[in-house]
Amino acid sequence: MAEFLNRIATKGDAAAFRDLFEIYAPRVKAYMMRQGADPATAEELAQETLLTVWRKANLYSGDRGNATTWIFTIARNLRIDKLRKETTWVELPEGRDEEASDDPLPDERAEVKERQKRVQAALAQLPADQHEVVVLSYIEGLTHSQIAERLRLPLGTVKSRMRLAYLKIREAVEDLK
C-alpha cells in the first residue's frame, strides 16, 4: 500500500490510485456503516477519504505507521468533522418550548435524600416517648390535643416531648440547607 501512496505522491499515478480505491473504498464504507452512518453517508465519506488520500499522499510517512492506519485515521477524522457540522434539531411538542421543568435539580434531589436519611437516623435515636409523639403528629397528622387524649397525657407533656424531639432532630440536620 505504501508503494501505491508513493506512486500517487511522486507521479500522480492514476492507476495506482484506482487500485488503492478498489481496495479501500469498500473497507472504509463498511467501517463508516459500523460506526453508525447510513449507506449513502458511508459512501460519501469513503469517497471523501480517498480523495483526501489522493491530495495528501505526499504527507504519508511510513516511519509513523502503515498506510492502512493512515487511511483509516483520515476516514475517522472526516467522520468526526461531519458529525460536528451536523446540527440535530428536534422540535419540542407544542407548548413545551416555553415551559420550565418542575423537576428538582439533581443536587436538590441529593440534598433531599440526605436530609431524609439524617432525619430518619435522628428519629431512630429518639427515646420511645418522644418518637411516639412525633409519629402521631407528623405521620398520622394528629394535633397535640388529640395526641394527649390518645396517650392519656397532659397537653403540656405532649408539647414538652415534641419540643425535645424537635431540638434533637434539628441538631442532627442543622448543617444541611
Q: Which of 13-22, 59-68, 146-155 has the lowest mean pLDDT?
A: 59-68
Please, are residues 3 and 66 in contact by the beta-carbon 8 Å criterion? no
Task: Tell me what pLDDT residue 97 has.
Answer: 59
What is the predicted pLDDT for the residue at 6?
79
User: Please, which residues have CB within 8 angstroms of residue 78's CB and are 6 or more apart in sequence?
Assistant: 45, 48, 49, 52
CA distance 46 to 52: 10
56's CB contacts (< 8 A; 6+ apart) are 74
pLDDT-wise least confident of 24-33, 36-45, 80-89: 80-89
The C-alpha atoms of residue 131 and residue 144 are separated, in whole angstroms, by 14
Average pLDDT of the residues in 28-33: 91
Ordered by where they begin, the domains of the chain are 2-85 (1.10.1740.10), 106-173 (1.10.10.10)
Task: Tell which wins on pLDDT, 102 or 136.
Answer: 136
Mean pLDDT (whole number) for 14-19: 89
Cβ atoms of 123 and 134 within 8 Å: the answer is yes
pLDDT single digits (tens) 154-169 = 999 999 999 999 998 8
Write down the pTM of the prediction: 0.48
